[in-house]
Every structure is written in C-alpha cells, then in structure tokens.
A and B are shown apart, each in its own frame.
Chain A
Amino acid sequence: MTALLDVAGVTVRFGGLTALSDVTFNVQSGEIVGLIGPNGAGKTTLFNSLAGLTRPTEGRIVFGGAQMKGLRPHRIARHGMTKTFQNTALFPGMSLRDNVVIGALCRASLKDARGIADECLAKVGLLKDADSDVDDLTFPQKALGEVARALATGPKLVLLDEVMAALTPTEMTAIMASLRALRDRDGITLMIVEHHMRAIMELSERILVLNFGKLIANGTPQQVSADPQVIAAYLGSSHAAH
C-alpha cells in the first residue's frame, strides 16, 4: 500500500542555518502520528514545509501520489493537506463562523460554506460560539477554531501544531476525544506536534522525534520513549550513558 504522505530527504536551509536535514518518513492513511522534539528541533519548520509555507531546499514531498514541493500552500490545501498555526492565526475582527467559512470557500459556494462551517464547528464542540468574535475567545477555543477552519477545507491530512497548549487536564481529555473522533469517524489522518507528553503518547500510534533538524527516532510511543537517543535529546546525554 502506498503511503498517503511520503517525505524523502527534506532539507531546509535558512542562509547558513540548516533547520531540517535529510528528513525521511511516511504517513499511512488513517494514522495518528506524533511529532516531538526539543524547542528549535524543527517541528514547525517541517510542518511549514509540508504545507508549502516554507520551500524545502532539497527533498521530495509526495502527498496522495502527487508532488507537493514547490506548490503554493493553497494548492496543497486543495490537495487535502493543511495545517493549524501554533499560537493560532484566526482572522481577527471576524466571527468564528466566518473564519471557518473561509476554509470552506475553496470547495463550496458562500451559501454552502456556512453549512460546512457549522458542521466543522460542531465536530470540535464550538458550535455554540459560532457567532462570537474570535478576539473574545479563550486560547483553547482559538486553537479548536483553527482545527475547525482546517477541517472546513475538506482535508485528508491535518498537521496540528500545538493545539493542546494551555489546556486544563479536563479540556485536554475532551480535545483528545474529538481529535480521535476525527480519525475514527471522518477518516482524517493527523500529524500532531505537542509538548505535552502524556497527551501525545496517548493519542499517537507512532511518534517521530526531531532533534537539531534530524529525525532521530520513528516508532511506537513505547519504542520511542525507551530510545537512548531520544532520552539524551530530552534529558541531556549523561542520562543516556547507562
């Protein structure tokens, strides 16, 4: 079976700085894949490269059988791969519904887009806030609003960049349930960047670990958490010595 997303040898250089170096992995349809790594490891850069916001210096990104590298982000979104933004990037001065409507406009008329928006808001449990101005939402609501806007584009794969930051444990359990439902009910493949270890270990079936722009591990949560290189990356090399 061919992978939904096939990433090979992706390298991103910003001037003299190598943000990502020869990253290779794939994602099967229907998987939930976690992406972890210390601050500055290149997680967001990887997501931006996949979504087309950053152009990789080298490498190949094949999604659904088509080459994505070099396409503009809206083309990639229309192929079915989109991302949410760390610290959220909802459009200010608009209602939450209108924000989500914009995501739906790439595949529907304005009239139908409103219906799609409400469906997507319901999926993340935000329908009751549809008419709120996004500036009045709490941070967790904004993060879920981002997920709803991404869903509105009709994605096959959503790259979730820290949607669970700043949540209480109860809120986190609720969000994890809705994310799992996106996969189980809607068949949407998810890639998740998250700092909260309990959440990502519970939610992901497979975890990729980035450190200094290199992929250092790729396995189940159990394999990854026992991997000496991963422990070294997180806790410092002295802990991995024994």
Chain B
Amino acid sequence: MTRSLIIIAVVAALALVAGAMLDPRGYVVRVVCLMLLAASLGQCWNIVGGLANQISLGHAAFFGIGAYTSTILQLRYGISPWFGMLAGAAIAGVVGLLISIPTMRLKGSYFALATLAFGEACRIFATAATGLTGGPQGVSVPFLGNSWTMMQFRGAGPYVPILVGLFVLVSVVFAILSHGRLGYLLRATRESEDAAEAAGVNTLGVKLTGSAISAALTAIVGTMFAQFNFFIDPDIVFNPTSISIRAALIAIVGGVGVLTGPIFGAVVIVTMEEVLSAYLSNQAAGIAPLIFGMMLIAIVLWKPAGLSAISFSMRRMPS
C-alpha cells in the first residue's frame, strides 16, 4: 500500500516536472497527457473489473456520456466544463446504476457481452440523436482562448497538472475503496456471493455502488478527454475498441485490482501505440496492430498478474 502510493506520487511528480520543463506544445508533453488519461480510464475500470471482478467491456458508454454532457452544456449554455464534468458524472453514475440492475446478475463472459452491447447501444444512440449530439459529424469544443475556468488551452502543457489531478483523484478513490469497507465487501462478493450474503453482505447493493462510482469517474475522464481533444464524435468517445476494451486492457496489462496497475499498463500501451504508429504506420496495412497484438499476448503470458508485479516478484513470496 505505502509502496503503491509512493509510485503514484513519483509518477505524478515526474509528469508535473515534464509538463513544466518541456515544450508545452511538444510531442512528449502530449504523450504524457495521453498516458495520464489512459491510466485514469484504466483505474476507473479497475474498480469494477479489479475489485468486483466484473469484466466490463462497456465503459465507453460512461466515457462518452461525460464527454458529451460537458461539451453540450458548454456549447448551448456556456457552462464551464468543470461543472459540466460533475453533471456528466452524475448522469453516468445513474446510468451505471440502472444498467447494473439487469447485468449484475450475469457472470463472466455474459456480463462482458451485455456491457459491450450496452456501450454499442449508446454509440448508436449518440449517432442517431443528431438534435442532441450533432450526430456522426461530431461536435467541437469552442475555443475561447487559454482559460483555467473553461479548462482549455492551446498547447498540451497546462493540461498536465489537471490530468495529474485526475489521475491522483481516481487512484485515491480506488485506494480508499480497496482498503475500506466497500473494498472488503466487493472482494467478498467477488469470491463467493452465497458466502458473502450469508455473512450479511448485501451483494447486489455493493456491486451497484461500485459500478455507479466507476461510471461517474469514467465520465470525468471523458470530459477531460473532450477538453484535451477539442473534438468528439460518437465513434471516438463511444468506441468499443479504443475506449471500452482499451480500459480493460490497460488494467489487465498493468495488473487487475492493483492500485499501480493502470499506470504501468498506460505507460506501456501508450508507448507501444506511439512507437508503432511512428515507425510502422506507413508499412503494409495491418502490420502495426498485428505487432501490437502480439506484444500484448507476450506481456500477458509473461506476467499474467500484470506488469506492476515485476518489481514485486522477489519480495512477494513470504507475505
């Protein structure tokens, strides 16, 4: 626990230093921001995927709700994304709760498929509801000049402290959940619902709470992505591969249910994506994703418990 918090603090400090020292409009700072967004997304997923072992493949639903809610509120009513973010989180939290009522009774791959379908339903809805979302053309966040109150900047540099704050927030929430009362109840529910119920645990309530928190935090990541990217459309923010599956992948590669898992996963996956697209994107079509996939398989076979377990492996045995 202490070691994990130190790693989080070091990562946050490194990112802040990079943001302050390097060219704020440069490539490296942009990549740092992408890593922080990815790590935050993975950490949100880790709450349900790691603590409750509910492998959700529909987190794009909440990500997209967050991105669209803040953007629409800003476009139509000039509301700052800081408030839009909270509205998005509230909506996603309620949606997360509602969708959980039918899906939480499903186990394993059935749950994964149901959530995947739900995410896709949201994408199709966002594409069709042109009056609300602008439909497939997407919407742009209007640029009003660099502004902290409107959470928007020309270069990536000023986003670094905001995204560090986001990553620290979701990590602290994860740490509190995992070491607190709800963490105990989630782990018990994950291991045996019958035994947990007999021990007085309201397993359904516990799972609903976990998924509502995870959904609300994911929406916050979505808002920040929209502010960072300045443009969203249904295929970007409700994307099953680049959002939903990626959220799960980041946590799985880094270490499911581990506080430091998502940051390990995010650094490795974003680096791989950037390197492959820089060097292989003009090669034969499909080479980059093929190598990406093979590397992921290799990582998961090499460290099934996730990359965050590497430095642990020598000290872990006696515990």
- A-to-B contact residues, CB < 8 Å: 51-53, 72-74, 77-78, 82-85, 89-94, 98, 101-103, 105-107, 109-110, 149-150, 152-153
Q: Contact check, A98 vs B184: say whether CB atoms are below 8 A apart.
A: yes
Answer whether A72 and B197 are a contact pair too, CB < 8 Å, given A98-B184, A102-B185: yes
Given A74-B199, A102-B201, 12 more A-B residue pairs with CB atoms under 8 Å apart are A53-B194, A53-B197, A72-B197, A73-B197, A74-B201, A74-B203, A82-B198, A90-B195, A105-B184, A106-B199, A106-B200, A106-B201
Answer whether A52 and B197 are a contact pair too, CB < 8 Å, given A94-B187, A105-B181, A110-B181: yes
Inter-chain contacts of B187 with A (CB < 8 A)? 91, 93-94
Q: A105: which of B191, B197, B198, B200 is its contact (CB, 8 Å)? A: B200
A57 vs B202: C-alpha distance when bound (angstroms): 23
Closest Cβ of chain B to A88, distance in Å, is 9
Closest to B191 in A: A91
Q: Contact check, A152 vs B199: say whether CB atoms are below 8 A apart.
A: yes
- Digitize B194-214: 1 where CB-to-A-CB distance is under 8 Å, 0 elsewhere: 111111111110000000000
Inter-chain contacts of B181 with A (CB < 8 A)? 105, 109-110
Inter-chain contacts of B192 with A (CB < 8 A)? 89, 91
Q: A74: which of B184, B191, B197 is its contact (CB, 8 Å)? A: B197
A106 vs B188: C-alpha distance when bound (angstroms): 13
Nearest first, the 8 A-B pairs at minimum CB distance are A106-B200, A73-B197, A89-B195, A77-B200, A91-B191, A103-B199, A102-B188, A153-B200
**Does chain A have a CB within 8 A of B286?**
no
Closest to A82 in B: B198
Closest to B257 in A: A93
Q: Contact check, B194 vs A105: say whether CB atoms are below 8 A apart.
A: no
Closest to B203 in A: A74
Closest Cβ of chain B to A238, distance in Å, is 40
Q: Contact check, A101 vs B203: say whether CB atoms are below 8 A apart.
A: no
Say whether chain B's binding surface is mostly helix, strand, loop, or mixed: helix
Interface residue range, chain B: 10 to 19
Q: Contact check, A82 vs B199: say whether CB atoms are below 8 A apart.
A: yes
**Does chain A have a CB within 8 A of B102?**
no
Q: Contact check, B199 vs A150: say whether CB atoms are below 8 A apart.
A: yes
Inter-chain contacts of A77 with B (CB < 8 A)? 197-200
Closest to A153 in B: B200
A107 vs B200: C-alpha distance when bound (angstroms): 9
Closest to B192 in A: A89
Q: Contact check, B195 vs A91: say whether CB atoms are below 8 A apart.
A: yes
**Does chain A have a CB within 8 A of B108?**
no
A79 vs B278: C-alpha distance when bound (angstroms): 63
Closest Cβ of chain B to A166, distance in Å, is 19
Inter-chain contacts of A149 with B (CB < 8 A)? 199
Closest Cβ of chain B to A4, distance in Å, is 18
**Does chain A have a CB within 8 A of B145?**
no
Q: A74, A92, A106, A153: which has the most chain B beta carbons within 10 Å? A: A74
A84 vs B199: C-alpha distance when bound (angstroms): 9
Cβ contacts A to B, 18 pairs, < 8 Å: A52-B197, A72-B202, A74-B196, A74-B199, A74-B202, A85-B194, A90-B195, A91-B187, A94-B187, A102-B196, A105-B200, A105-B201, A109-B181, A110-B184, A149-B199, A150-B199, A153-B199, A153-B200
Closest to A79 in B: B200
- Digitize B118-155: 1 where CB-to-A-CB distance is under 8 Å, 0 elsewhere: 00000000000000000000000000000000000000
Q: Contact check, B185 vs A53: say whether CB atoms are below 8 A apart.
A: no
Closest Cβ of chain A to B193, distance in Å, is 9
Answer whether A85 and B198 are a contact pair too, CB < 8 Å, given A74-B203, A93-B191: yes
Q: Contact check, B196 vs A53: say whether CB atoms are below 8 A apart.
A: no
Closest Cβ of chain B to A77, distance in Å, is 4
Closest to B180 in A: A110
A98 vs B197: C-alpha distance when bound (angstroms): 16
Q: Contact check, A101 vs B184: say whether CB atoms are below 8 A apart.
A: yes
Inter-chain contacts of A91 with B (CB < 8 A)? 187-188, 191-192, 195-196
Q: Contact check, A73 vs B185: say whether CB atoms are below 8 A apart.
A: no
Inter-chain contacts of A82 with B (CB < 8 A)? 198-200
Q: Contact check, A85 vs B199: say whether CB atoms are below 8 A apart.
A: no
Closest Cβ of chain B to A87, distance in Å, is 11
Closest Cβ of chain B to A160, distance in Å, is 12
Closest to A149 in B: B199
Q: Contact check, B191 vs A53: say whether CB atoms are below 8 A apart.
A: no
Closest Cβ of chain B to A204, distance in Å, is 22
- Digitize B165-183: 1 where CB-to-A-CB distance is under 8 Å, 0 elsewhere: 0000000000000001100
A152 vs B196: C-alpha distance when bound (angstroms): 12
A101 vs B185: C-alpha distance when bound (angstroms): 10
Closest Cβ of chain B to A81, distance in Å, is 10
Inter-chain contacts of A109 with B (CB < 8 A)? 181
A55 vs B96: C-alpha distance when bound (angstroms): 29
B window 192-244: CB within 8 A of A: 192, 194-204
Q: Contact check, A102 vs B198: say whether CB atoms are below 8 A apart.
A: no
Closest Cβ of chain A to B246, distance in Å, is 27
